[in-house]
Amino acid sequence: MTATPAWPPKSTPRLFVDRELAVGAEVPLDYPEVRYFFSVLRLKEGDPVRLFDNRTGEYIARLGAIASGRSSARIESLLQPRELTPDLWLCASPIQRDNFALVAEKACELGVRKFVPVEMRRSQVRQINATRLVKRMIEAAEQCERTALPEVEPLVRLEKLLSEWPSDRMLFFCDERGGDPAPAAMAAHPGPAAILIGPEGGFDDSENAAIRALPQAVPVSLGPRILRAETAAISAVTLWMGTVGDWA
């Protein structure tokens, strides 16, 4: 007996729309969405699409008619509710442009809940383009089938971050000078967590001491080699997800 094919087929286009969706609603599409569906994908009225809103979940919808560059989508049914994201923050110094956008993209794919750019004394980059980071995360979410986008915080100085650190959240301080082996340390401290990654030049002495003074901080090593900041960020998040995250 042949198995009934899954619905909707994996090939159904999937797009993030930044407005709340609900079954039965007629959702107007903005110009980029219309152009993507009708010009780029050459879809037509009545074709199915998958829409998610980072608020309620992901839905199957049907494209409406297109007229003078305008169209809409009728929401037919809920495919899945918005995911419960693993409670992990990634706190990292901005680094050279493309690499920081890469870190944002991988943080989204790997399931991070919040992305916190942190300015440190040796940060060579002292501003972020949040719009660009969010765009990379949206593209990543559309591709990896996430229904939630990480929150992106404004750039914050390390001192302020530490002074306001939540008492119930562990801080895995990736210290290039050494620390506990990261997998064991993460396994020993399940629960709300954050990972802290320094800039290309690392943490200076006073920053290192201030972080270690935080009761919630656990200095961890990512092995005997000095990793590039983006490698360290991706590796540490992967370790956490595989140890206590939603891969376990």
Question: Which residues of the chain form contacts with ligand SAM (CB under 6 A)?
Answer: 174-176, 197-198, 200-203, 221-223, 225-229, 232
Residue closest to ligand SAM, measured at CB: 198
CB of 158 vs ligand SAM, minimal distance in Å: 11
Both tokens assigned to 113 = 């809940």
**In the complex, least distance from residue 87 CB atom to ligand SAM, rounded to whole angstroms:** 21
Residues 105 and 139: beta-carbon distance below 8 Å: yes
- Residue 160 or 228 with smaller CB distance to ligand SAM: 228
For the bound state, the minimum distance from the C-beta of residue 235 to ligand SAM, rounded and expressed in Å, comes to 8
Nearer of residues 70 and 122 to ligand SAM, judged by Cβ? 122
Is the separation of the CB atoms in 82 and 56 below 8 Å? yes
Tell me if 199 sits within 8 A of 158, measured CB to CB.
no
Candidates 134, 151, 11; CA nearest to 88 is: 151
- At its nearest, how many Å lie between ligand SAM and the CB of residue 181? 10
Which ranges of the chain would DSSP assign to H, the alpha helix?
A: 31-34, 97-110, 130-144, 158-163, 182-188, 205-212, 229-243
Nearer to ligand SAM, 12 or 231 (CB): 231
| C-beta closer to ligand SAM: residue 21 or 182 | 182
Measured CA to CA, the distance from residue 95 to residue 215 in angstroms comes to: 27
61 or 241, CB closer to ligand SAM? 241
Min dist. Cβ of residue 225 to ligand SAM (A): 6
3-state secondary structure 7-56: CCCCCCCEEECCCCCCCCCEEEECHHHHHHHHHHCCCCCCCEEEEECCCC
Q: Which tokens hold the place of 159?
A: 């001192």
